[in-house]
Structure 1
Amino acid sequence: MNRKFLLWAMAFVVICPALFGVGYWVWWDQVQRYAPVTIASPTDAAAITSLLTRADYVSPDFQKDVLTTGPASGITTAVTKPVDKRWVYLVTYRDCAPCRAYEDVEFPRLQAGGVETRIVAFAREDNGNVKQSTPEERSTIAELWLNRSWLLYQQWRNAAPEAWKAENIAVADNDLARSGVVWASRDFINQLAPLLRNSKVNVAYPIVIWRNKNNELRVCSCASNKAYHFIREDLGLPGDLETDVKDLLHLPKNLMPFGSETSASSSSSSLAPAPGLSADKDYGPGAAPSSF
């Protein structure tokens, strides 16, 4: 066995594991680290499902029924009920930029695939003396949880934070009941986060929750667009190869064909009023203040 062969054998023994290690690290860093988590514990899955069921989310697919308490009462009550279809929950707060990015990019795709997109908005708790929500935000959160208005959510989301005055919405800070609703939105997070951490979910926003084709409860902390395609794959929706590859490889926009990118502003169609909800409460200027 000559010396040259031994050198090549030694190089092979050293280089191949190194290349394998580098390849595995790149795969993990660019793909697998963004993969969603399956909630394997039946107890935790049931607790999370219960929380989602009890949370007052908003959705363009929510339907309204008008019921009466009896023929002699003359009292009618507008109630809402969810549509029987696949769903994706997105847990968000007012100024969450990754949450807005997920809505802009993925909501149109999910809705086109017949998936109901449900928003659970919450007001963050103060961090010591640092206020993490405004009175206008708290008032809007309370109104969203009480009246579940998709129209209000659209108006709130599409307005600049400094421009949103929460006109014609009761001030939550002046109302014990509405303040209680704000705290309920925070308690939702305080109960949800430990359940997610039990399954090794890194709690970051947006939190996206859905069930896959095997009816397993899945969770994604989708702060990166590299996680988006996993959800569509779970739901059996077609992917966008051009966008998915660009997201994974960090390709700059100027390498993509002109017109292949849809801007955030043009994706606002995902927030268009759903059929049958045009009679939603008017929260614009001149409208009557909200009550409950």
Structure 2
Amino acid sequence: MRRFFVWSALAALLGLILAIGGFWAYQHFYARFQPVTVTQNQAAIQRLLDESSWLSAGGGGEPLYIIGYRDSAAMQRYEREEAPKLRAAGVEVRIVVFARADREGLAQSTAAERATVAELWLTRDWTLYQRWTATPSNNWTAAGIPAADGSLARTAVVDAGRAFAASLSENLAGAGLQTRYPLIIWRDREGYMKACACSDSRSWAFVRDDLDAPDRVEPPSVAADGVPAPMAYPGDGSPESLPYPTLPPIPPADGQAAPPPGAAPVPGNAPAPARRAAPQAPRKAPEAKRTEDTTFF
């Protein structure tokens, strides 16, 4: 009987360990990457999104918001890899950028970034946003854009973007979401608001599955059959071939007729080299001829 109780206790302990390990693995490898369903403060969150100066390439489908800052590597990768898939599913991708506030006396944004964020919030210029994100942040000088520092109006716009991000994080905290960027907010098929702190790429598949987005899309430069599209070249207007340079006429070889003017040379049939003249034999030295009073050569 004692042995039975010992083995029963060991089995119960082993089962408890397996249960704890399975729950930890589920939370660590799966559950923590899932989006959350927002059940609190939905009206306040929706009002913040509607009043923000979001940027979009158009589309007119169901909106999906990507919130983040310029130097976020995860946000740049999400826009580059996932946004085309979402657009292919008919989703309108809306992007909201803000300039991070100073932290412990250290600036987390540059003057050029603050100027660009203020300009984007005021104009919602999608072309400017594309030029900004296509340029390395160290090379972006915000040339031609009014500075935000020293301007009360533009500084207020930058502060409004920061207040928007802080209010959004505060309202999403009620759903148990720890804000990390990029922050993705959308509505599912039933109309429920979903949110994802998608700083880890393992979270992206849940967003695609919820919106029926494909796992991959063909790049624009590749045709549907996988053959790269032909490149167009200037010149004769033909996209199939390179423009051929204008060459001087080639003299005909012996026994061949001259090609007509403007005819292209035949590939693999190089013109025969011109025939060199045979060297002449050396002249014979003159012989001396003697007359009666003179010798001639």
After TM superposition, the score normalised by the length of structure 1 is 0.69
> Is the 8 Å Cα contact of residues 212 and 218 (structure 1) preserved in structure 2?
yes
- Which residue number in structure 1 is paired with residue 115 of structure 2? 139
Q: Would the aligned equivalents of 2:66 and 2:96 in 1 still touch at CA under 8 Å?
A: yes
Structure 2 equivalent of residue 219 of structure 1: 195
Amino acid at match of 2:130: Q
AA aligned to 2:49 is L
Asked if 2 retains the 8 angstrom alpha-carbon contact of 1:105 and 1:267, the reply is no
Of residues 54, 57, 60 in structure 1, which corresponds to 2:54? 57
1:101 Cα deviation (Å)? 2.0
The Cα of 1:33 is off from its aligned counterpart by 1.0
- Gaps in structure 1 of 5+ consecutive residues: 62-82, 241-261, 270-292
Q: CA RMSD in A?
A: 2.4
How far apart are 1:221 and its partner, in Å? 0.8
1:235 to 2:211 alignment:
yes
Letter in 1 for 2:43: A
Partners of 1:20 and 1:174 in 2: how far apart?
A: 60
Identity of paired residues, percent? Answer: 38
Counterpart of 2:185 in 1: which secondary structure? strand
Partner secondary structure for residue 88 of structure 1: strand
Question: Which position in structure 1 is the counterpart of 2:185?
Answer: 209
- Which of 135, 152, 159 is the aligned partner of 1:159? 135
Residue deviations 1:256-291 (CA, integer Å, cap 9, x gap): xxxxxx9xxx8999xxxxxxxxxxxxxxxxxxxxxx
> Which residues in structure 2 correspond to 1:34-53 (within 5 Å)?
34-41=33-40, 44-53=41-50
Residues 136 and 166 of structure 1 are in contact (CA less than 8 Å); yes or no, is this contact kept in structure 2? yes
| Structure number having the greater helix percentage | 1
- Residue 96 (structure 1) aligns with: 72
1:87–1:116 Cα contact (<8 Å) kept: yes
Contact (CA 8 Å) 1:104, 1:268: kept in 2 or not? no
4+ aligned runs moved over 3 Å, structure 1: 5-12, 266-269
Q: How far 1:152 moved relative to its partner?
A: 1.0
State the structure with more CA Rg: 2
Give the direction of change, closer, same or farther, for the CA distance of 1:231–1:26 in structure 2 (3 Å limit): same
Matched-pair contact (CA < 8 Å) for 2:65–2:185? yes
User: After superposition, what is the alpha-carbon deviation per residue over 1:188-224, rounded to whole angstroms, capped at 9, x for unaligned?
Assistant: 1122121111222101111110001111111111111
**How do 1:9-88 and structure 2 match up within 5 A?**
9-41=8-40, 44-61=41-58, 84-88=60-64
Secondary structure of the equivalent of 2:90? coil
Where relative contact order (Cα < 8 A, 6+ residues apart) is larger, the structure is 1
Aligned partners of 2:215, 2:77: CA distance in 1, in Å? Answer: 17
Aligned: 1:130 with 2:122: no
- Using structure 2 for the length normalisation, give the TM-score: 0.68
Residues 127-185 of structure 1, C-alpha deviations (whole Å, 9 max, x = no match): 23211111100110011111111111111112111100111111122432222211111
Alignment of 1:139-288 (within 5 A): 139-239=115-215
Q: Distance in 1 between matches of 2:106 and 2:2?
A: 72
Give, as a single letter, the amino acid of the residue that structure 2 aligns with 1:90.
I
Q: 3-state SS of the aligned residue for 2:67?
A: strand
